[in-house]
Structure 1
């Protein structure tokens, strides 16, 4: 019994693999499995005999035929071109985020095992005039190429689930902060950069107004929720499988205040304001808060507050 993680060599993908292994070792696996297969352009960094890597392009039919077999019981589809990269290269975004998703779904359909399929979508599917707190039933109206591609992916995944070819969970992730490492192509990359870089003594740029409200999750909480979603029975989700993964609503000004409290005024002074209309146009179109009480009651979790997220990240830096 095998679980596939597309994008398994990436930051979130490797964390999902680690969390799956931890849960299995604790007797708490969301579904039974004995192998994790990472499908990515590089090997998964997780060192465990239960983790194997298939290095190749997800768009390749040969790669998909090798990866998606009747033994597959679960798929985490994390591979994607992110928001900034999608806006810069429309054709690449369509090839990877839309065509690649359909190709993976077709491979699952051909395998015939109807695996549980966790699709990581994004709050970027929302745009236009959204309410201050977005209800669960609010319709997608993306204002970016990335959001449009993810919305198309959601419809594809839900239709394949409706037909019984996969058993879907469409997880719209909050913006992840604080993400370690280096900046990525996401328009929201600054949400980690304005914390991560100053705590390392490096200057950072804030490209949006301080009153911008963001829906955030720590990496740890996001990964726990993705793995939890795999174990939720499909019938508990209903016909439409889209869920807004719980996060916390924080303004950029409040994020900088948390940086000041944890890192001190010297760290705070390393962040300078430099408005970027391209980033602002994407990020400021996203909702800043969602109704998630039903999901919390069902067992999903979220961070206590952003200050504790920053403290935990800083403690991790100190321990290295």
Structure 2
């Protein structure tokens, strides 16, 4: 099903690829997918956006004038085969995924999308007469829970993979499928992706999930526009069969508590975010799967870090404008609501217990036996 809605290396010297073909983006109307399609289109690079044919994606597609859209369910092998045969891409940027916290509640669907669909996409790509480059969006969730009191080292591409949740295990499996293929590949492990625009999918489950994570956990954030830059660079870089960590510059090395409070304050909601609960220094397993990264190699090759965290906050303040003064009186009410939503409300324990808090409301986070 197809429709049209409204200093780059063209890769022509890459053997075994159809350099004249477009870049195929899966999960094209998610947070990262939207940014990647927008950046490809702005750079004049032919792009085919693919996602599920649902009402929300149809609405999003109408805003992307001039971009070719092909609707496909990647869990249906016949649709994947038809998609690749029709597009004949020079590169695939594979973003489609079921992410936390939804993946914990919908475990079977998450496995079908995150692992099985990746296998199908890789297999069908291998069968093309001119196999495309495969760029996989992975996650630092592959490293598992990280206790900053016990391990102060930065994550690198060589840090051992020890996933502690379902999503991390799925990404380890997906990476294995890509690595084991005959395709030319690049794997990007993403940190905490942020946007200066309103984030989609913000609901009570998401707010509960965020509150469950230890407030003093280390997290490396990154502007979604910089992620898009890295993805596009990965489609043409000569540094293939390599894993890159995608996080922002040093200003993006934050504590979990810093993100919501800073963004809320920049939006005019000063003190709207109640303090979270710290992690237990004595329990390595009671932390979430985030940490700071060494992005030296990634930046050297992909040159994607363009938006610092202070720059993002300044842009949010500018975008909010006079609405910041209108929003300010709502801060106490929002703080009250978030306090009531906390998974630790009425709990006298001193430390966060993220995995049990997630299990109590959002589903089983334990890894599959893959």
Q: Fold-level match, TM-score > 0.5?
A: yes
Preserved contact between residue 246 and residue 301 of structure 1 (Cα < 8 Å): no
Greater than 6 Å deviation, 4+ residue runs:
none
Of structures 1 and 2, the larger Rg is shown by: 2
Equivalent in 165, 189, 192 of residue 144 of structure 1: 165
Query: Aligned equivalents of 1:180 and 1:117: distance in 2?
Result: 30
Mapping of 1:97-108 within 5 angstroms?
97-108=114-125
Corresponding residue of 2:130: 113
Preserved contact between residue 9 and residue 45 of structure 1 (Cα < 8 Å): no
Equivalent in 98, 105, 113 of residue 96 of structure 1: 113
Question: Structure 1-normalised TM-score?
Answer: 0.78
* Deviation, structure 1 residue 98: 0.5
1:246 aligns with 2:247: yes
Gaps of 5+ in 1: 194-203
Gaps of 5+ in 2: 1-20, 324-370
1:74 aligns with 2:91: yes
* Deviation, structure 1 residue 156: 0.4
Query: Aligned equivalents of 2:26 and 2:302: distance in 1?
Result: 25
Go from structure 1 to structure 2 and tell me whether the alpha carbon gap of 1:117 and 1:253 turns closer, same or farther (over 3 Å shift).
same
Mapping of 1:113-262 within 5 angstroms?
113-128=130-145, 131-160=152-181, 163=182, 166-178=183-195, 180-183=198-201, 206-233=211-238, 236-237=239-240, 239=241, 241-247=242-248, 248-255=252-259, 258-259=262-263, 262=266
Corresponding residue of 1:38: 50
Root mean square deviation, CA, Å: 3.1
Preserved contact between residue 216 and residue 255 of structure 2 (Cα < 8 Å): yes
Mapping of 1:254-293 within 5 angstroms?
254-255=258-259, 258-259=262-263, 262-263=266-267, 267-273=269-275, 284-293=287-296
Say which SS state the counterpart of residue 38 (structure 1) adopts: strand
* Deviation, structure 1 residue 169: 1.1
Query: Aligned equivalents of 1:56 and 1:309: distance in 2?
Result: 34
Corresponding residue of 1:196: none
* Deviation, structure 1 residue 104: 0.6
Preserved contact between residue 125 and residue 132 of structure 2 (Cα < 8 Å): yes
Mapping of 1:13-92 within 5 angstroms?
13-24=33-44, 29=45, 34-42=46-54, 43=58, 44-49=61-66, 51-69=67-85, 71-92=88-109
Query: Aligned equivalents of 2:175 and 2:158: distance in 1?
Result: 14
